[in-house]
């Protein structure tokens, strides 16, 4: 087998976004495009030479081809050993689990997460560091810088590796170990949660649930854990076979895209519990009987009840949430007397806090919740956490959340997304807001008086690194907020996200319709940002 050095030239735009490099499949299929990015990883992450690398993806279109390229390049770049999930499958949290368990030097995750898959859709690649989490900005910037000057890559001339058979094969001097993608992850979940209590809940025959894997990566994980190990009825896992195009769907577990599951949780015969995860298994949506739990509330409820589970029975050290996530978790942290951190959007910002032991739980409004058990958000983990609480508290989802609101007050919350808007117009909209910020404090809009207005900047408390321009925050007296930022994960034009939150302490007002209750604030946001005038959009594309 011969190791070749191939001449190449840089591509524009290989800077990783919120979560790795995400582009259309067609972009990745251009000759040298994937190779350049992968070589930039090997050129900058020098500990991989002679080390062990984990490789896996969410099974979307181009996953298998990309893995073969990565294996050949890893061999040519001197990687000693690669652990790859059977069939090329590893959920994002499972990659993190395997990196940590086997103390590898890092991992490569192939996924565009919740974005659709297929030849005309999206693909993505992300590097995770030895702690198991997404590379911090210092690393992604170094990889990006290398892509701009790259002039060659290394690849071994060898046949494809059989990814479907467990066991070890050699590619040149490198060992490739095809591992069971589910086993290590399932074992970790058994350590954290009370499987006996959850099994008893299913055995009671009084509890009905479905988990929607959305034809994405969690199908095999959920089937093994929920049906095989916990005894949930066969068929509990819906859309459980991973497909390259997710069955034509949009594997994003929210009210808009998981509509079949949402329908099963509505009406007089609604299920007791519904949950869904996304393309690569790191997101989660939690539903009760005629009840939707916002991700922000979910983080707060898990934090307040963590002591009821075996994995967190001795309590939590601290909580972190991304800036646009509601402040519900802050109230729990205050009551528990633990630290609470506000970080920019992106799971990578939780890594240092988790590694330093400053936080145990963290979460984001974008359907992401997780803990120090891995360094990624974790969809099935959140579902098992909820199941553990339901089993122990013997109450419904609605009862648990309503009780939580009675104790802490309710942070009404909604996010309005304007997808695929003209990128220039979106940039101008944000620039215009930035100019307005200094004049806003003290101004009154309807019943709301602006308390502060800024462009969020974060100084990492562990390494002192600063991340500026992380989103516009307009905070009102009493704790209500409007937050606006542009998504860093879209692949078409720009996506404008408008996040809205208002705090209601009065329990008699806790059960209003969210959009109605928030209508005045929604209007203020639209007018302040001149959304329709600048983007031509009268309504958001997706409301969650
Ligand atoms: C990624 C990041 C999350 C982030 C989300 C949305 O999630 O890991 O931290 O909250 O994108 O980001 P944006 O608002 O920039 O689109 P995932 O599940 O896509 O990896």
Q: Per residue in 247-283, pLDDT tens?
A: 998 999 988 889 999 999 999 999 999 999 999 999 9
Ligand 1 centroid – CA 19 distance (Å) = 6
CATH number of 185-408: 3.40.120.10
**Cβ 495 vs Cβ 486: under 8 Å:** yes
Q: Where in the chain is the domain with CATH 3.30.310.50?
A: 410-543
19 counts as catalytic? no
Q: How confident is the model at residue 438 (pLDDT cuts 50, 70, 90)?
A: very high
- Which numbered atom of ligand 1 lies nearest the CA of 114? 19
Asked if residue 490 has pLDDT above 80, the reply is no
Query: Probe ligand 1: pick from 369, 469, 486, 489, max atoms within 8 Å of CB?
Result: 489
| Span from the CA of 121 to the centroid of ligand 1 (angstroms) | 17
Question: What is the spatial distance between Cα 497 and Cα 296, in angstroms, rounded to a whole number?
Answer: 16
Say yes or no: CB of residue 113 within 6 Å of ligand 1. yes
Share of the chain above pLDDT 90, in %: 95
Does the CB atom of residue 348 touch ligand 1 within 6 A? no
Q: Is the CB of 347 under 6 A from ligand 1?
A: yes
**By the 8 A CB rule, do 400 and 302 touch?**
no
CB half-sphere exposure, 84, CA atoms < 13 A: 33
Between the CA of 381 and the centroid of ligand 1 the distance, in Å, is 18
- Mean per-residue pLDDT, 30-54: 98
Distance (Å) from CA 114 to ligand 1 centroid: 9
Mutate to test the pocket of ligand 1, among 364, 374, 382, 492 (most ligand atoms within 8 A of CB): 364
Residue having the nearest C-alpha atom to atom 4 of ligand 1? 346
Which segments of the chain belong to CATH 3.40.120.10?
Answer: 2-179, 185-408
Of all helices (H) and strands (E), which one includes residue 515? helix 514-517
Burial class from Cβ neighbours inside 10 Å (0-12, 13-18, 19+) for residue 191 reads exposed
**pLDDT single digits (tens) 122-142:** 999 999 999 999 999 899 999
Pocket test for ligand 1, best of 346, 348, 498, 499 (most atoms within 8 A of CB): 346
Query: pLDDT digit string (tens) for 356-382?
Result: 999 999 999 999 999 999 999 999 999
Does domain 410-543 sit in CATH 3.30.310.50?
yes
Ligand 1 centroid to Cα of residue 445, in Å, is 31
> Encoding tokens for residue 321?
């949430």
368 within ligand 1 shell (Cβ under 6 A): yes
- pLDDT tens-digit series, residues 263-272: 999 999 999 9
Statement: 2-179 belongs to CATH 3.40.120.10: yes
Q: Residue 1 — very low, low, confident or very high, per pLDDT cuts 50/70/90? A: confident
| Each residue's pLDDT tens digit, 69-81 | 999 999 999 999 9
Q: How far is CA 387 from CA 38, 296, 344, 420, in A?
A: 39, 18, 29, 37
């Amino acid at each position: 087998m011969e190791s070749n050095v191939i001449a190449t030239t840089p591509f524009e735009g290989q800077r990783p976004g919120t979560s790795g490099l995400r582009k259309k499949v067609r972009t990745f299929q251009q000759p040298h495009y994937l190779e350049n990015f992968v070589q930039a990883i090997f050129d900058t992450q020098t500990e991989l030479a002679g080390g062990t690398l984990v490789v896996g993806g969410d099974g979307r279109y181009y996953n298998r081809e990309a893995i073969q390229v990565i294996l050949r390049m890893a061999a040519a770049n001197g990687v000693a050993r690669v652990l790859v999930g059977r069939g090329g499958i590893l959920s994002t949290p499972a990659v993190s689990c395997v990196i940590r368990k086997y103390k590898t030097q890092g991992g490569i995750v192939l996924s565009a997460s919740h974005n659709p898959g297929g030849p005309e859709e999206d693909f993505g690649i992300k590097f995770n560091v030895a702690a198991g989490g997404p590379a911090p900005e210092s690393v992604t910037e170094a990889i990006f810088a290398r892509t701009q000057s790259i002039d060659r890559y290394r690849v071994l001339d060898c046949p494809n590796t059989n990814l479907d058979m467990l066991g070890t094969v050699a590619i040149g001097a490198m060992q490739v170990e095809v591992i069971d993608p589910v086993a290590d992850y399932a074992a970790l979940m058994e350590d954290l949660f009370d499987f006996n209590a959850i099994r008893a809940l299913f055995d009671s025959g009084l509890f009905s649930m479905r988990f929607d894997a959305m034809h994405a990566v969690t199908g095999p994980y959920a089937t093994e854990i929920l049906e095989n190990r916990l005894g949930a009825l066969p068929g509990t896992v819906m859309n459980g076979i991973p497909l390259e195009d997710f069955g034509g769907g949009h594997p994003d577990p929210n009210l808009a895209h998981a509509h079949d599951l949402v329908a099963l949780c509505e009406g007089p015969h609604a299920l007791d519990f519904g949950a869904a995860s996304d393309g690569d298994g790191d997101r989660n949506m939690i539903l009760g009987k005629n009840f939707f739990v916002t991700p922000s509330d979910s983080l707060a409820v898990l934090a307040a009840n963590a002591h009821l589970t075996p994995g967190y029975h001795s309590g939590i050290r601290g909580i972190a949430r991304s800036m646009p996530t509601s402040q519900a978790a802050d109230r729990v942290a205050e009551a528990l007397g633990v630290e609470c951190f506000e970080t920019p959007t992106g799971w990578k910002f939780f890594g240092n806090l988790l590694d330093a032991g400053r936080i145990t739980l963290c979460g984001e409004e974008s359907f992401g919740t997780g803990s120090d058990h891995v360094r990624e958000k974790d969809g099935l983990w959140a579902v098992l956490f909820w199941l553990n609480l339901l089993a122990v508290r013997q109450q419904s989802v609605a009862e648990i959340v309503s009780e939580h609101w009675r104790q802490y007050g309710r942070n009404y919350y909604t996010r309005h997304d304007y997808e695929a808007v003209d990128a220039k117009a979106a940039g101008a909209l944000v620039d215009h807001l930035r100019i307005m910020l200094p004049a806003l404090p003290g101004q009154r809009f309807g019943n709301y008086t602006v308390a502060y207005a800024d462009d969020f900047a974060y100084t990492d408390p562990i390494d002192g690194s600063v991340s500026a321009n992380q989103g516009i925050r307009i905070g009102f007296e009493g704790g209500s907020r409007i937050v606006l930022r542009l998504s860093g994960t879209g692949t078409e034009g720009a996506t404008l996200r408008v996040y809205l939150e208002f705090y209601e302490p009065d329990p008699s007002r806790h059960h209003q319709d969210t959009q109605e209750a928030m209508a005045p604030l929604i209007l203020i946001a639209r007018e302040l940002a001149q959304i329709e005038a600048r983007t031509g959009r009268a309504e958001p594309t997706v409301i969650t």
